[in-house]
Structure 1
Amino acid sequence: MGLNEWAYSLSESMLAEPLPRRWVHSLGVAKRARALSPILGRDAELLEAAAVLHDVGYSPSIATTGFHPLDGARFLRDQEGADERVVRLVAHHSCALLEAEERGLRHELETEFELERPELVDALIVSDMTTTPDGGHTTPAARLEEIVHRYGPDTIVGRFIQRAAPEIFAATERVAGRMALVSAGTQPM
């Protein structure tokens, strides 16, 4: 079984029944990741696998800390023996260090999981932050607004996502720039 076949199967088994909306969101994030393949080269499959698995930590069967990037990464590492790079991307997706800080878990996240290449981190941020909860396409600004509205501005998630906004917008610009260079034929893969 290939990496993506395994990742889709695992994510579906963990999310589709208990959290169908989260599963549909994950499928949308994977679709966005796939669309970025021109700038990912040989890491395209890796990013798509991480994208479809990025929210697996929400699964009630493995949620232990209540912080889904950490729960998901630990599960993938300890129970699934997943590719180390996929695990790192899941652990650090969408500015997770900032949310970990809000939750008092930054030290755990930083010491257990190294950061992946910045280009891949950016691509996963963009894939997640341009996908609605129902798997549709959106803008980063609209996605941030939706998250703040859903959770509330003074909650852990609301505070973290507002702090993360500058980095989310910067990642979006970096990815758009790389895509433009590839489209113009001026960037090697």
Structure 2
Amino acid sequence: MGDLIEVWATRLAAAELSTALPRRWAHTQGVAKRAVEVNQVLGQDAGLLVAAATLHDVGYAPRLAVTGFHPLDGARFLRNEHGADERLVRLVANHSFALMEAEERGLREELASEFPLLEESPLVDALVYCDMTTTPDGGRTTAEERVAEILGRYGDDSVVGRFIRRAAPEIFGAVERVEAALEVQPR
């Protein structure tokens, strides 16, 4: 089952992002690669992590950008047009502390009521790790460098800038937890 959802996710993300947003597609491919690298800490949820990593930014696709908030737009697309697995949809909706950004955008209640946050910390942390250790071009980076890059790209006083400053401690904590879990895994 894991392989099937991963293949489906890759085809869907490629169809929505590869031509319209090639740089976003490069980032997505890098995030998915990180997910494959860390999936040993998740056991049976490894395929779900790879699928969520592959689809986490699908809401940026121009035809899907209804609210302009990609986690919400992507989750609605996956639920409404594809009847995707609820856990997958909720991971996409809430990836990388999206609830904090939703608050900045006045969409917190909408996101929280439609797509409640998953309480599965290792899975949620792993998706944060994959997203926040991948550059916009798909390369590897540190969470600190990624947060700095996002601030530089959007500006301190933008919605995204305010969100990322607030979320940074949570992002760093999630990344540290995943890195600690990876250190105890047999090679």
TM-score (norm 1): 0.95
User: Match of 2:185?
Assistant: 182
Q: Which runs of 5+ in 2 are unaligned?
A: none
Q: Residue 34 in 1 paired to residue 40 in 2?
A: no
Say which SS state the counterpart of residue 19 (structure 2) adopts. coil
Among candidates 72, 86, 89, match of residue 87 of structure 1: 89
Letter in 2 for 1:173: E
Q: Residue 159 in 1 paired to residue 167 in 2?
A: no
User: Match of 1:61?
Assistant: 63
Aligned residue-pair number:
184
% identical aligned pairs: 61
Say which SS state the counterpart of residue 94 (structure 1) adopts. helix
Letter in 1 for 2:83: G
Deviation at residue 161 of structure 1 after TM alignment: 0.4
Deviation at residue 90 of structure 1 after TM alignment: 0.2
**1:183 and 1:175 mapped to 2: Cα distance?**
14
Q: Residue 50 in 1 paired to residue 67 in 2?
A: no
User: Match of 2:16?
Assistant: 14
**1:110 and 1:13 mapped to 2: Cα distance?**
28
Structure 1 runs, 4 residues or longer, greater than 6 Å off: none
User: Match of 1:4?
Assistant: 6
Q: Which runs of 5+ in 1 are unaligned?
A: 185-189
Q: Residue 170 in 1 paired to residue 168 in 2?
A: no
Say which SS state the counterpart of residue 184 (structure 2) adopts. helix
User: Pairwise CA RMSD of aligned residues?
Assistant: 1.1
TM-score (norm 2): 0.96
Letter in 2 for 1:98: M
**2:39 and 2:127 mapped to 1: Cα distance?**
12
Deviation at residue 140 of structure 1 after TM alignment: 0.3
**1:51 and 1:37 mapped to 2: Cα distance?**
11
**1:125 and 1:65 mapped to 2: Cα distance?**
22
Q: Residue 120 in 1 paired to residue 141 in 2?
A: no
Deviation at residue 129 of structure 1 after TM alignment: 0.3
**1:175 and 1:76 mapped to 2: Cα distance?**
27
**2:61 and 2:76 mapped to 1: Cα distance?**
13
**1:22 and 1:39 mapped to 2: Cα distance?**
26
Q: Residue 136 in 1 paired to residue 103 in 2?
A: no
Deviation string, structure 1 residues 48-100 (Cα, Å, up to 9, x no partner): 00001000000011110000000000000011111111101100000100000
User: Match of 2:80?
Assistant: 78
